[in-house]
A and B are shown apart, each in its own frame.
Chain A
Amino acid sequence: MGETIHVSPSPHVRDSVNTQKIMAAVVIALLPASLAGIILFGFHALLVLILSVASAVLSEFVFEKITKRPSTLYDLSAVVTGLLIGLNMPPEIPLFIPVLGSVFGIIVVKQFFGGIGQNFMNPALGARCFLLISFSGQMTNFAVKGGILGRAAADAVSSATPLVTLKMGESYSLGSLFLGTVGGTIGETSALAILIGAAFLLVMHVIDLKIPLCYIGTFTVLVLITALIRGYGSPVYFTLCEVFAGGLMLGAWFMATDYATSPMTPNGQIVYGVALGVLTYLFRMVSKSPEGVSYAIILMNCLTPMIEQYTRPRAFGVPRPKKEAKHE
């Protein structure tokens, strides 16, 4: 440029943060969960992750070529979407399903609505729900053949996830839930790996504590109250199991915090998190289905514009708008 005075409208960004760096941080933060999934579930899980990322990137590339839009390949958002889709797949899923999910997530949910930042719904979750409705049999079959988990238990690994087992009234070992040596999707079982990734994102200031804390907090309190009322053997233990089992951890830290589909306003984020907790609680504890994290987040994604509208902060120094006098 070379000008001495640079004139530009606000906001005056003086940081070197850009989409690419943020997305790279998210990819790094998802690595522990991915590694845990590969170690636990074996080679097929690795194949699922590679294929879902590759097909997400490829569909983004092809779509932007066809529609002659500027390429957003290098901002890594497609990699994040693909990786999240892969982490949401059961370990022994037929390989065409994650590929179909990535194509749907990128092209229909993301690009049809205008590409990065314009999508009204988290592309990875949109794809997951699309697959869950279309291939409910394969998407809820959590049998494991390979990896540590498969080898340790041989053919005995049941297809039921901890949430199903909990719903039937059996208890689970909290330690195995925390480490992830239980049935579930590739990325959701190991709470430890997810929390390591989440801690990295928090340190890097990529995500804020408000949404995940409100989400998990509300859910915990509601489940605890229900466990006490329903008179379960050990309410605290049951609650902890519910918090660490299923997709709650992955959903709360990595999907509910998606920039484009969660509120920007601080109060809005609190409302969003609390509503997510309530919805997940309702889906899991009151309805028949064992899991409800993805549907809860998708529903709240749709309500995000409304939440933002009602929680917009007042500009400093501007008087409160007086209520207009009604027609006399």
Chain B
Amino acid sequence: MSDCCAPATIEIAPTPRIAGKIQTVVLVGPPNSGKSTLFNRLTGLRQKVANYPGVTVEQHYGKLSGIGRGDLTLIDLPGIYSLNTQSEDARVAVDVLHGKMPGAPSPDAVLLVLDSLHLQRQLMLAAPILSLGLPTLVLLNMSDLMETRGGEVDTLALAQELGVPVAKISASRGTGLDAIRHFLDKRSQPVPVTPRLELPVVGNPRSYRQWATGISTRTKYKAPLSSEWTRKLDSFLLGRVTGPLLFLVVVFGVFQIVFSVGLPISNAFQDLLNGAGRQVGLLLGHGWLESLLIEGVWKGVSSVLVFLPQILLLFLFVGILEDSGYLARAALIADRVMRVIGLNGKAFIPLLSAYACAVPAIMATRTIENKRDRFATILVTPFMTCSARLPIYMLMIAAFIPNKPILGNFFGLQAAVMLSLYALGFLAALATARLLKSSILKASSAPFILELPQYRVPTLRSLGLRLLDRGKVFVQQAGTVILAVTLVLWVLSHVPFHTDLPQSIIGHVGQWIEPVIKPLGFNWKIGIGLLSSVVAREVIVGTLGTLYGADPATQSLSLQAALRHDLTLGGAMALVVFFAFAMQCTSTLAIVKRETNSWKWPALQFAYMTVLAYVAALATNVLVSRFF
């Protein structure tokens, strides 16, 4: 602690930019400064999301049409505290600001958003941003809240201290945004000579601190009182007894609603999609075109689209929890439990969401800042029993497990088997998380530092935009991959033309892999079912239906009876265990690729889960065949 950091300041004269047209504006600010709300305000619905090349950080950009400057591009940078931390977010921010990020144009102007409720601390980010020498406008966000809570600041004095214009705004109400347009309009004219500025030593938090404290004193900044009811709510929501209780209520409430409300909506949506497919099919008439478009493409794509209602519902809840400030409290409560498996409290919501579907769950891991923790969470998420596993579980259990009561009439053998399949997936997730965190994703140096924001009422506008954003990502990314895979599968199952499934390429593949799956108690039909269900788990039920329906030996039987005719109990149980562990879901693989920005992780995940599924299914077949 002896390093010199006293009043050493260096003088930086902002580099005079070439006056003239500006095209690209970047939005910078610390986390929780209301940056995203402002971004949504300024760009309206005309925004795009993509990944920066080579990293997992998302790039949000759009046209500044919200303030009548649709000719300018606004780039939203990830929330950062400083420019010199090692985090991926900060590196992206620095690269974009320096114009070194491939694919992102170099910025002509900077909008620096600071939360005026904590201005003194947030000012620390102003020092490195101003030293970049770009034309900058400082926006004091949430100034309405600051003033109602008795805070104040002399913006004129602040503008003089910083040497750049300063404006009070409220992103959530949309007030004060005129200042941004004025600033941008003025920037199109010649830049006046800026006075020399005194900025602290670059990269030294202590000197930033002293600088920020000095400025906030000289500009008569008075911090507002912290909200009284946040504290009161916390003593209840984080109470020793009430806290965990409410946490459970929230958790099960969300889970229950996504299931009970989401499933019927998804089913109705599926009927709608199938109906639309049939109608179009009638127009096309019978033939290979109808088969390709309806049986192949439409069935495959709609099997993914049916998850959209559940995904949107889940994101609505996650959005409400996050925007209101409760998610941070939930992470705090869950941290102790999640730590046991080497993850932190923020991993909890994704893992819970994965009981509905792994795809939105993996998208929800974005709240985990630590990259290694986030990747570990992404990798274990598909083990949680998602709703796509239910059709095959229900089919096999109904066909093979007698419904003997265990605990009275309420809890039978069938329910017990179902519950143990859920438990199996959960245990696999725990074990894998531990394995990952003690090997390739070993605990990194980043600790659990959680800022507890004040409670706020979420706005409809921000929730709506969030849903739109996530929905778009899901449909685009998963949809394109699914489309490609279904096309390939259709071709493989129809070439050579005018043959039945067993004689098609995929039929041959099914028979070819039979020796591999025979030890598990599976026949070639199950093999084809496994192959077809690589697209999506629930597909296997449809495939088995088609295959047994086409076979003269089992044609007259119901699917359950046909399965009993063809499989042993060992093979049947091996099949459900296989499904508990295997990564039979291209949407998940596509989303993992997107979120980790590399094929390495989905490939590893697929290999690991398949091997685990194979070994576990083999063990199940051997054990069940011996003891039952």
Asked if A and B are interacting partners, one says: no
